[in-house]
Structure 1
């Protein structure tokens, strides 16, 4: 088997249907999680609209489409009481979901992007919320 390389965004990486399945399956898992579920349910008021926005986001990141309109950073920084554990749970559930997609190239690229995105969001959250504290890094596992 050849070594996987990071190739995103690439329209040949996956289909829109795969992105839709990824988003719906991941958020189904996240909503059932005892910690993440409470946060999502408290802050997402229209799940249909959220799914459309997340599909557009991941389509942009993975396939290079330009439908996504939004600014995720300020929305995440505004959330109260986030922790490294929550971000790591998000990443673990995301990786579980991509591992079931049956597309190793999609899995590799989506997992790489998710770790990068999660790390950036967590770093920015810490800088905004706790500027005098030492930064806590996310685990890659």
Structure 2
């Protein structure tokens, strides 16, 4: 982290099929070893699978899932007088999106289905219906913030 000036935010190009920057960010988070075309194949294949399974447009399910996963509050560690408190704080819009994409990628990889395309489709459908591991992660974050609400006055 630079001490002189704030880091410049790099902007990503919108994806080719939907023209959405969030989709590009998600494809980049799926990508391993720089294999972007493989990550795009996985994502767009999952969108087609969602359309087959649910009958809804895959992109709409993706947007709904991201909205269901985004956390509004989280806890941050704050050291005060020798004790460390978990202080609940509101989450900025950019961080909400980043956390949602990160959790979605992490819990998609942990699923038991065969193949990343099937895993991603299943996790997006579950998150779109407000269930699944990613939504559970968000709820656990909320429970932690609620349990530590007494320390909210330590916000900075």
Greater helix share, structure number? 1
TM-score per shorter chain, which class?
under 0.3
Greater strand share, structure number? 2
For the pair shown, the structure with the greater C-alpha radius of gyration is: 2
